[in-house]
Structure 1
């Protein structure tokens, strides 16, 4: 498996991202085109375009909502576990001070975890800044 880093850490689900959604986008473009170029059936093409848009929106939002909501909870729990393993104290106060993007970015930090956590707490660096600062990347191949 290829080593994970900042430039390649995003993950795609090919059937969804590269087949289903592009087909819906093409159908939407076709439907909008037909609205203007088929005046006799304009209402039908308008309804067609609305239905395709709703399918696209529903597919995108449902997938994102459930998968990311669950994963975000797991990321926070993973942070709390790791914090406890390193500092041997609960992380409740620390978690309250951090934004989610900072917590999510810290999961990629390996040796620099303590240093980057300090910067996140005291210098309020963003999650993206945390990711860019990581020298030894801790891969996350399971995120959807």
Structure 2
């Protein structure tokens, strides 16, 4: 696999991010257009409104599916990084660390991980600043 760093660590899932998103957006536009035409003609208004409601439901479900998957990944990352911190230091990580900070810290190699955790908690570093401060990048090819 290609080496990972701050500039190329984000991942996109083409089927979800491009195909599904475009299909949902296109279908919503078609449903709204259909509803406007139905209202102007005065026919099939109920079906057109129902179609728009169905599209709103699909958009909500699509967003929730993504959010729930990310929340599950966040929980796993918190557990993994807490265990890693405990193994390296014999202590639990600072509870002041936010989820965003923990997600960013997962890219740090063990040699700089504990110190960077302390610095992130003490200075309230933003996730992007944490990632930029990492000298030895540890790739994560699993999160999407």
Structure 2 CA distance for aligned equivalents of residues 95 and 46 of structure 1: 51
Compared with structure 1, are the counterparts of its residues 73 and 82 closer, same or farther at alpha carbon in structure 2 (3 Å cutoff)? same
Q: Secondary structure at the match of 1:140?
A: coil
Between 27-36 and 4-13, the greater mean CA deviation after superposition: 4-13
Structure 1 CA distance for aligned equivalents of residues 97 and 115 of structure 2: 14
> Which residue is 1:134 aligned to?
134
Please say if residues 85 and 114 of structure 2, whose CA atoms lie closer than 8 Å, have aligned partners that are also in contact.
no
User: TM-score by structure 1 length?
Assistant: 0.84
Q: Secondary structure at the match of 1:96?
A: coil
How far has the Cα of 1:55 moved from its partner?
1.0
Deviating runs (4+, > 4 A) in structure 1?
A: none
CA deviations over 1:30-57 (Å, ceiling 9, x no partner): 1112222332333322221110121121
User: TM-score by structure 2 length?
Assistant: 0.84
Instruction: Check if 1:112 corresponds to 2:112.
Output: yes
Structure 1 CA distance for aligned equivalents of residues 8 and 52 of structure 2: 35
2:83 pairs, out of 76, 81, 100, with 81
Q: Secondary structure at the match of 1:7?
A: coil
Give the RMSD, CA atoms, in angstroms.
Answer: 1.8
How far has the Cα of 1:23 moved from its partner?
0.8
Please say if residues 94 and 118 of structure 2, whose CA atoms lie closer than 8 Å, have aligned partners that are also in contact.
no
> Which residue is 2:65 aligned to?
62
